[in-house]
Structure 1
Amino acid sequence: MAALAPRQLFLNLRPRDDATLENFLSLPGNSAALEALGSGGEDQVYLHGPADGGKSHLLQALCHAAGPGALYLPGSAVAAYPAEEVLSGAEGLALVCIDELDLLAGREDWEQALFHFYNRARESACRLCVAAARPPGTLPLELPDLRSRLAAGLVFALPAPDDAARRAILSFRAGRRGLRLAPELAGYILARAPRGLADLLAVLERLDQASLAARRPLTQPFVREVMSW
Structure 2
Amino acid sequence: MSRQLIFELGHRPAFGREDFLVGPSNEAAVAMIDAWPNWLGPTAALSGPAGSGKTHLAEVWRAAAGAVRLDLSALGEADLPALVAQRAIILEDLARLSDREERALFHLLNLVREEGAALLLTSRAAPGHIEVRLPDLASRLRALPHAELGAPDDALLAGVLVKLFDDRQLRVAEPLIAYLTSRIERSISVLRDVVEALDRASLSGKRPITVPLAAEVLQSLGRG
TM-score interval, normalised by the smaller of the two chains: 0.7 to 0.9
Q: 1:119 aligns with which of 70, 88, 110?
A: 110
What's the CA shift for 1:123?
Answer: 2.0
For structure 2, the residue ranges without an aligned partner over 5 or more in a row are 1-11
What's the CA shift for 1:89?
Answer: 1.5
Q: How does 1:85-124 map to 2 (within 5 A)?
A: 85=78, 87-104=80-97, 107-124=98-115
CA change 1:141–1:100 in 2 (3 A) is same
Structure 1 stretch displaced more, 210-219 or 177-186: 210-219
Residue identity (%): 35
CA change 1:179–1:17 in 2 (3 A) is closer
| 1:60 aligned residue | 59
SS of the residue 2:46 aligns to: strand
Q: Normalization by structure 2: what TM-score? A: 0.73
Contact kept in structure 2, 1:44 and 1:127, CA below 8 Å: yes
Greater relative contact order (Cα < 8 A, sep 6+): 2
Mapped partners of 1:39, 1:215: distance in 2 = 46
| 1:21 aligned residue | 17
What's the CA shift for 1:186?
Answer: 0.8
What's the CA shift for 1:187?
Answer: 2.4
String of CA shifts for 1:41-69, please: whole Å, max 9, x gaps.
Answer: 22321112222322233223322444xx4
| 2:130 aligned residue | 139
For structure 1, the residue ranges without an aligned partner over 5 or more in a row are 1-15
Q: How does 1:147-166 map to 2 (within 5 A)?
A: 147-166=138-157
Contact kept in structure 2, 1:63 and 1:71, CA below 8 Å: yes
Q: 1:167 aligns with which of 154, 158, 163?
A: 158
Q: How does 1:24-43 map to 2 (within 5 A)?
A: 24-41=20-37, 42=39, 43=42
Counterpart code for 1:131: T
| 1:44 aligned residue | 43
Counterpart code for 1:72: R
Structure 1 stretch displaced more, 110-119 or 197-206: 197-206
CA change 1:49–1:222 in 2 (3 A) is closer
Mapped partners of 1:194, 1:33: distance in 2 = 21
CA change 1:153–1:206 in 2 (3 A) is same
CA change 1:131–1:226 in 2 (3 A) is closer
RMSD of aligned alpha carbons: 3.2
Query: What is the count of residue pairs matched by the alignment?
Result: 206
Q: Which has the larger radius of gyration?
A: 2
Mapped partners of 1:179, 1:17: distance in 2 = 13
Mapped partners of 2:96, 2:15: distance in 1 = 22
CA change 1:17–1:127 in 2 (3 A) is farther
Contact kept in structure 2, 1:20 and 1:62, CA below 8 Å: no
Mapped partners of 1:103, 1:56: distance in 2 = 19
SS of the residue 1:52 aligns to: coil
What's the CA shift for 1:156?
Answer: 0.9
CA change 1:74–1:196 in 2 (3 A) is farther
SS of the residue 2:122 aligns to: strand
| 2:5 aligned residue | none
